[in-house]
Amino acid sequence: MTIDDDKRLAAQAAVAEVRDGMVVGLGTGSTAAFAIAALAARIADGLHIQAVATSEASAHAAFAAGIVVRDFADFATLDLAIDGADEVDARLWAIKGAGGAMLREKAVAAAARRMIVIADGSKHVAAIGAAKLPVEVLPFARAFVVAQLEILGATVTVRPDYETDNGNLVADCRFAAMPDPRALAAAIDAIPGALGHGLFLDEVDAAYIASRGVVTRLKRP
Ligand code: 5RP
């Protein structure tokens, strides 16, 4: 069993929850790519769904796999979103955004009636906080936002030669400790020019975690 096998198993378990007629939000990253493949396989077997994608990369992959991809701008609500994570804990708090898509991912997750995280066991942690926390930054306000993030205790690296699908920068933040993710999320939300961040504290409804071939389903406590 490889990590990719575990990512595939977690993805397949989540895709098994997709039903005919749903509008499904597709995540971004290597685990989400397995979900796109699993969904395409079910569509080839007769499932009828529409999808919206959280990144241009996932939109292209889904379209190439034969999935009907719609513009998220036309949907106020979705039935289900399936996405990867960089860390997830037992509270179903997650850190996302290593792939830089966290702003679109959060909008899609918030619009979805249910959001399922899929991950291999390395992403399952006792408490989120060790992973870098990405923040999408308006280029116009770069130095100001970085300074504000540093005041919050972050060691900040602006991703070099990188632009999000929205044309913005990403500031990767490392925190020595993250004792209160909810307070941190609120503080980042309050910085003008910080457009979004990878703390997902209210969005995740369930998670499929696969470790050495065994899939576990976590529910919000
Ligand atoms: C992209 C994300 C990804 O879902 C997250 O980084 C996990 O990626 P992977 O499945 O490749 O480990 O949040 O913005």
Q: Spell out the per-residue pLDDT of the chain, length 221, in tens.
A: 899 999 999 999 999 999 999 999 999 999 999 999 999 999 999 999 999 999 999 999 999 999 999 999 999 999 999 999 999 999 999 999 999 999 999 999 999 999 999 999 999 999 999 999 999 999 999 999 999 999 999 999 999 999 999 999 999 999 999 999 999 999 999 999 999 999 999 999 999 999 999 999 999 87
Alpha carbon of 3 to ligand 1 centroid (Å): 14
Q: Kindly state whether residues 8 and 77 are assigned to the same domain.
A: yes
- Which of 7, 28, 123, 133 is the best mutation target for the ligand 1 pocket, counting ligand atoms within 8 Å of the beta carbon and taking the most? 28
What pLDDT is recorded for position 221? Answer: 79
Q: Give the per-residue pLDDT at 7.
A: 98
Which CATH number is 62's domain given?
A: 3.40.50.1360
Q: Whose CA is nearest to atom 10 of ligand 1?
A: 31
- Residue 166 sits in a domain whose CATH number is 3.30.70.260
Residues 70 and 25 in one domain: yes
Confidence at residue 147, expressed as pLDDT on a 0 to 100 scale? 99
**Does one domain contain both 205 and 172?**
no
pLDDT of 220: 87
For residue 157, the enclosing domain spans 133-198
C-alpha 212/C-alpha 114 separation (Å) is: 26
* CA of residue 189 to ligand 1 center, whole Å: 21
153-189: buried (b, 16+ CB within 10 Å) or exposed (e) per residue? ebebebeeeeebbeebbbbbbebeebeebeebbebbe
Is residue 149 assigned to a domain?
Answer: yes
One domain for residues 88 and 183: no
Query: Ligand 1: does its nearest atom lie under 6 Å from the Cβ of 196?
Result: no
Q: Is 79 in the pocket of ligand 1 (CB under 6 A)?
A: no
In a domain, 218, yes or no: no
Residue 221 lies in a domain: no
Judgement on whether residues 73 and 156 belong to the same structural domain of the protein: no
- The pLDDT value given to residue 77: 98
pLDDT in the model for residue 192: 98
Q: Are residues 34 and 140 in the same domain?
A: no
219 found inside a domain: no
Q: What's the CA-to-centroid distance between 107 and ligand 1, angstroms? A: 15
Return d(Cα 183, Cα 177) in angstroms, integer.
Answer: 13
* Pocket probe mutation, ligand 1, options 30, 36, 93, max atoms within 8 Å of Cβ: 30
Domain count within the chain: 2
Say if residue 21 is in the same domain as residue 79: yes
188 occurs within a structural domain: yes
Task: Tell whether 28 is covered by a domain.
Answer: yes
Pairwise CA distance, residues 37 & 174, whole Å:
33
Residues 115, 100: one domain? yes
The predicted pLDDT at position 176 comes to 98
Q: Give a yes or no: residue 220 inside a domain.
A: no
59 within some domain: yes
pLDDT value for 157: 98
Q: Is the CB of 32 under 6 A from ligand 1?
A: yes
Give the integer Cα–Cα distance in Å for 217 and 100. 26
Residue 207 sits in the same domain as residue 101: yes
Q: Which residues are catalytic?
A: 105
Whether 154 and 104 map to the same domain: the answer is: no
What sign has the CA pseudo-torsion 195, 178, 204, 89? positive
Decide: 85 and 209 in contact? Cβ < 8 Å: no
Provide the pairing of β-strand 87-88 with 78-83.
unpaired
Are 84 and 141 contained in the same domain? no
Residue 90 and residue 27 share a domain: yes
